Amino acid sequence: MRESRLFGTAFAAALASLLGLGPGAASGLQAPPEAYQAQQESGSAMPLWLVRYKLRRRGYQDISAASAGPDGFTVLAQDRWGRRVKLYVDGASGEAVPRSGYGLAQLKAADVPAHIAGLGYRCLGPVGASRQHFEVLARMGAQEPVRLHIDPVSGAVWHERS
């Protein structure tokens, strides 16, 4: 057993020397591999393939035009509702973070009627904005009208009876 370790280390040192890496390059071969989280703490940015993977896990599709910046990534993608979004992704954590000029699936007032129609509601009045969300009077089928509140960032809808 000891002889095989010694032979493996000597072979790795000879190979490193042959490739011009020097004898110090083989010294870390016996250490166990580090987890990716350990590399993250050193402040290095994660690879672009991992950023794409994390965004797909969160429901983003058709990820295109991903480019690396000094401390993160700019990504164009489609959110789970099929809307085009421009995201800023932190280079160390892979999280989409709010930043001026970027959106996490920003709804515009003109998009609200189509968004709630996809959920089964019919818009009964103009779209208003209140306290960082949209409000609209809507009806689902033959039920009584409700005042819907729509979050422009996530597209979440909640209501109160009117």
User: Tokens at residue 55, please?
Assistant: 């965004």
Say how many CA atoms lie within 13 Å of 88 toward its Cβ.
11
DSSP state of 96: B
Evaluate whether 104 touches 87 at the Cβ level (below 8 Å): yes
Tracing tokens 């965004």 back to the chain, one arrives at: 55
3-state DSSP call for residue 128? strand
**Average pLDDT of the segment spanning 99-107:** 66
Helix (H) or strand (E) holding 68: strand 61-68
Strands 128-130 and 146-150: unpaired
Residue 31 pLDDT > 60? no
Evaluate whether 34 touches 16 at the Cβ level (below 8 Å): no
Q: What is the mean pLDDT of the chain?
A: 76
Q: Which residue has the higher pLDDT, 121 or 82?
A: 121
Residue 46 pLDDT > 90? no
